[in-house]
Structure 1
Amino acid sequence: MPIKNYGVLKGKAVKTMLGSNEKPHFQVLIVDENRIGYRIAINTKSQDYPSEVLYFVGENFKSEEITKLPDLEFGFTPIQNNHPDIGLDYIRGHLLDRSQMIPLPTDEDGPNNDLNDKFQYYFKQAIDTKAIVYAFGQRWGPEQNQPDQYFGFTPGNGIHDIHMNQGNEGHWQKDNGIWQDGGILLHFEQENRWVAIFLAFQSQSWCTDDNGNAMPSAEHVK
C-alpha cells in the first residue's frame, strides 16, 4: 500500500534544528506566502541496520520535474491524483544512480562529514538567500489546537518520509509504492540554480516491481 497524503510542500526555510541520536531527524521550519507554518522532518538515522542513511546531493540539478514546480502554489500540493506528473521516483525517473549515494552518520566530530553538517550547510544558504524549498514526502496534520513540538507554531503541520519510499521489506513494506519517493529541491532563484537532496536507507532494495516491492536482484525494473 502506498504512503498516504503524498505530495510536495513549497515554501521558504526560516529556522533549523539539528538531529540527534535521541531525535534522529533534522527539523526545518518552513512558511508559505500566507505565513502558515510547516515542519519538515528529515531522517538522519535508520531504525534498521545499517543505521547510516544514504545521501546524495546534486549541486546543479537538472530534471524535467523542476520545469513544472515554479508554477505550483505555495503550501502543500497533493501529487498522486492532482499532479501525478511531478512525483519523484529515484529508479524510474532516473534521478540518480545508487552508486552515487554515500552513507553518513547523524553527527560526527569534524566539519562537513555528517548529515547535520550537510543539511545545515544547504539550508543556511536557503535561509540567507530566501531560496524556495520543495519538500516531497508524506503530510501530517493539521493538528488542530496543538502546537508544533519543535517550533511552537499552531496548528502542528508538516512533511515527513523525505526519503526513498520503495524497496522496503518487513514492517515498512506497507509504505512501498512507485512515484512517491521523498526528497528536497532548493531553488536559488537569483542564480537560477537547483540543488537536489535525496536520501535512502541501506536496507532498501533498488530493484522493485510495479508496486514498489523488492524483487530478486536478477529481475529488472520495467
Structure 2
Amino acid sequence: MRHAEQQRVYGVLVGSVKDGQIDPSGRTPHYEIWVQGNGMDYRVAVNVISQDGSEVMAYFDPDYRSPDPHKLNLAALASGTAGFAQLTTGPTGTGLDYLRDKLFPLDKMSVIPPEGAGVTLKNLLDGQIERAKADTGAVAIAFGESFQDPTPDQTFGFSPERGVHDIHLMQGDSGTFAGDDRVNGDGALFIRFTSGETAALFVRFSTQDISAAGGGAGGS
C-alpha cells in the first residue's frame, strides 16, 4: 500500500486494539489491525506477503525486552499520550533502526508464511490480537509511516481512513523500492499487556540487504 500523493511522515502510533485480520479482500498483502487512540480510529497494516514476490522474514518475541530503553522505552510509550506522533529520521533521527540499534538478533529472522498450517504470521498475530482485545489495558505500539484518506477505511469501515503502514525494515532496498531507504526510520509492531509483557514483531523482505554495506548506510 503506497499513498504516493501524500507527504511521507514517519512516527509511532499508540492505542488500544479493537480487532485484527488478514485483509479479507485480498487486495493488499497485509494483516490489518484496528487501533483506537486519542479518540481516533487507525488501521495498522503489517506486511505478511511481499508485493514483489520475495519472501517475508520475521523475528517474533512474545516477551520482548528493549535493549536500549533510551531509544525504545516501551513502558513510557504505553503509558504516554495515545495517537500518532511524528519521529525524525536520518543520522540523528529518533526512529528505530534494525541495523544500528541492535534491537534483536538479525540472524534469527526467518521466513514465516502468511497463512496455512503450523507457525504462520496470521496465527501469531491472531493470538496476540485476541489477547489484547481481552486485556482492556493492552496497547499496540506501531512504528511506521502514516497515511490518511477522506474515504471510509477499506477494511474496518471507520471514516476517514487513516493509519500506519511500512511496518518493516526500510533499508537495503533495490530497484523500485530503493528510494524508500532511510536510517532511523524502520517499522515494527509491539503489543504491550497490563502484565508488563510485550509481544514484538520485526519484519523484512528477503531481498533487502542487511549487510554493513547495504542500502541503509546512507538514507535521509
Shorter-chain TM range is 0.7 to 0.9
- How far residue 73 of structure 1 moved from its aligned partner, in angstroms, is 1.1
* Count of residues in Structure 1 that have an aligned counterpart in Structure 2: 203
**Does structure 1 residue 113 correspond to structure 2 residue 119?**
yes
Task: Determine the C-alpha separation between the residues in 1 that align with 2:53 and 2:157.
Answer: 33
Task: Determine the C-alpha separation between the residues in 2 that align with 1:71 and 1:105.
Answer: 33
- Please say if residues 59 and 194 of structure 1, whose CA atoms lie closer than 8 Å, have aligned partners that are also in contact: yes
Task: Determine the C-alpha separation between the residues in 2 that align with 1:85 and 1:22.
Answer: 33
Match of 1:73, SS state, is: coil
Structure 2 unaligned runs (5+)? 1-6
- How far residue 148 of structure 1 moved from its aligned partner, in angstroms, is 0.6
- Report percent identity of matched pairs: 29
Query: What residue identity is the alignment partner of 1:198?
Result: F
**Which has the higher mean CA deviation after the structures are superposed, 170-179 or 92-101?**
92-101
Q: So what's the TM-score if we normalise by structure 2? A: 0.84
The C-alpha deviation readout for 1:41-95, integer Å capped at 9, x for no partner, is: 1111112343x311111222121112542353110000117xx775111110101
- Please say if residues 176 and 213 of structure 1, whose CA atoms lie closer than 8 Å, have aligned partners that are also in contact: no
- Please say if residues 38 and 157 of structure 1, whose CA atoms lie closer than 8 Å, have aligned partners that are also in contact: yes
Task: Determine the C-alpha separation between the residues in 2 that align with 1:97 and 1:138.
Answer: 24
- Please say if residues 174 and 208 of structure 2, whose CA atoms lie closer than 8 Å, have aligned partners that are also in contact: yes
- Please say if residues 144 and 185 of structure 2, whose CA atoms lie closer than 8 Å, have aligned partners that are also in contact: yes
Structure 1 unaligned runs (5+)? 215-222
Q: Who is 1:92 aligned against?
A: 100
Task: Determine the C-alpha separation between the residues in 1 that align with 2:65 and 2:94.
Answer: 14
The C-alpha deviation readout for 1:118-160, integer Å capped at 9, x for no partner, is: 111111111111311101100001x23x111111111110100
Aligned match for 2:112, one of 104, 107, 119: 104
Q: Who is 2:158 aligned against?
A: 153
Task: Determine the C-alpha separation between the residues in 1 that align with 2:198 and 2:93.
Answer: 19
Query: What residue identity is the alignment partner of 1:53?
Result: V
Query: What pairs up with 1:22-41 in 2 under 5 angstroms?
Result: 22-34=27-39, 36-41=40-45
- Please say if residues 34 and 156 of structure 2, whose CA atoms lie closer than 8 Å, have aligned partners that are also in contact: yes
The C-alpha deviation readout for 1:7-32, integer Å capped at 9, x for no partner, is: 00000110112247653211111111
Q: So what's the TM-score if we normalise by structure 1? A: 0.83
Task: Determine the C-alpha separation between the residues in 1 that align with 2:129 and 2:161.
Answer: 21
- Please say if residues 172 and 215 of structure 2, whose CA atoms lie closer than 8 Å, have aligned partners that are also in contact: no
CA 78–32 in structure 1, closer or farther in 2 if over 3 Å, else same: same
CA 107–19 in structure 1, closer or farther in 2 if over 3 Å, else same: farther
Task: Determine the C-alpha separation between the residues in 2 that align with 1:186 and 1:175.
Answer: 26
